[in-house]
Amino acid sequence: MRSGETGGFEAAMLPHLNAAYTLARYLTRNDHDAEDVVQDAYLRAFTYRDSFRGDGAEAGRAWLLAIVRNTAYSWRRREGKSALVTEFDETRHSDAVAEEHPEAALLRDAARQSLSRALDQLPPEFREVIVLRELEGLSYREIGEVVGVPAGTVMSRLSRARERLQRALRAEDREG
């Protein structure tokens, strides 16, 4: 990676594109913005490629995801500053989440919707650990690297996040 060649960087980092996109989608909650965030994050990662001191594909993934996360938070601040920007983008909360999926048949639609709503409503520091753990399959240590907190904090955040999601599911059970 120190060669400065775009090719080497691409070969090392493009395999993580799905992981980057998934994280960006759940942080921005908008497919369109997620694409912009991912592209920007890759450019930043390329600019700072010499600072990557880790070793191996998993370290590279955590490093890239940390940059995706930072980029997404910059994007969130920008969104906060000019709230109207989002009004021009009605792709927000697209139906992508509700697309048919084999496992989804096991769940009643209502439960699934309430869960994905509950996930959307989680504070971002909870949502990101859930996404990194359940969708990306990262270890606590790797999540800690991405988020910038100790593994112990990852553990307690995950637990609190799951407790909230569990409550949403239980509430759905009672109503249904």
Partner 1 sequence: MSHEHSETQLDAYLDGELASVEAAELEAHLVRCPACARLREERLALRAAIRAAVPAQPAPDALRERVRLALRAHGTAGRGGGPRAARAWSWLAIAASLTLVALGSWGLALRGAAAGGLADEVFRSHVRSLMPGHLTDVRSSDQHTVKPWFDGALDYSPPVYDFAGRGYPLLGGRLDYIAERPVAALVYGRRQHLISLLVWPVTRAPAAPPTPRFRQGYHLLHWATPIYSYWVVSDLGLVELQDFSRLVQQADSAAAAGMSR
**What is the C-alpha separation between 2 and 118, in angstroms, rounded?**
43
Neighbour tally for 123: CB within 10 Å: 11
CB of 61 vs partner 1, minimal distance in Å: 14
Could you tell me which residues come within 8 angstroms of residue 107 by beta carbon, excluding any fewer than 6 positions away?
115
Neighbour tally for 168: CB within 10 Å: 18
